[in-house]
Structure 1
């Protein structure tokens, strides 16, 4: 298995010129996979919380979400609110 290249080997090199901006009035029609500056409405005013878990935990949480017809994010919200209550804090919700 090969290793991912390190960014350390790029030190001291000059950066390549930025790609020209796509022409057109609709940023949604930009090339496939190109990111736009606009944050999706579903993520505006929100912060990401992430963690690394064992494959078994991941599988168990995904299976529970599937059985309950809920999203993994909804289960994590419930879990975080339970932890807040356990430690005497007010649950935040959503």
Structure 2
């Protein structure tokens, strides 16, 4: 049965050059304690849903044709639903 090679013969070799040290990590910019995202999202909450690809395409195309954002169309739709059920529309 053969023996495992000995690592003793590695001692006689010249050492390989040391690897270059990794650069020091750059500290992240300080973030304000109350900032949790862009200013345009302050005081707002996300409402999300999952729709079929056809619905997504139709809404994106309508938004493009109307030169409005998808968010603006969704706000209009939500306000219409609120009116339908006797609630006051909220606005944007």
Q: Same fold (TM over 0.5)?
A: yes
Q: What's the TM-score once normalised by structure 2's chain length?
A: 0.64
Q: Quick one: distance in 1 between partners of 2:30 and 2:72?
A: 31
Partner of 1:23: 27
Offset of 1:22 from its aligned partner?
Answer: 4.2
Partner of 1:62: 60
Partner of 1:91: 89
Bigger-Rg structure (1/2): 2
After TM superposition, the runs of 4+ consecutive aligned structure 1 residues lying more than 2 A away are 21-24
Partner of 1:51: 49
Give the gaps of 5 or more residues in structure 2: 1-24
Q: Quick one: distance in 1 between partners of 2:56 and 2:27?
A: 42
Q: What's the TM-score once normalised by structure 1's chain length?
A: 0.63
Partner of 1:73: 71
Superposition CA RMSD, Å: 2.1
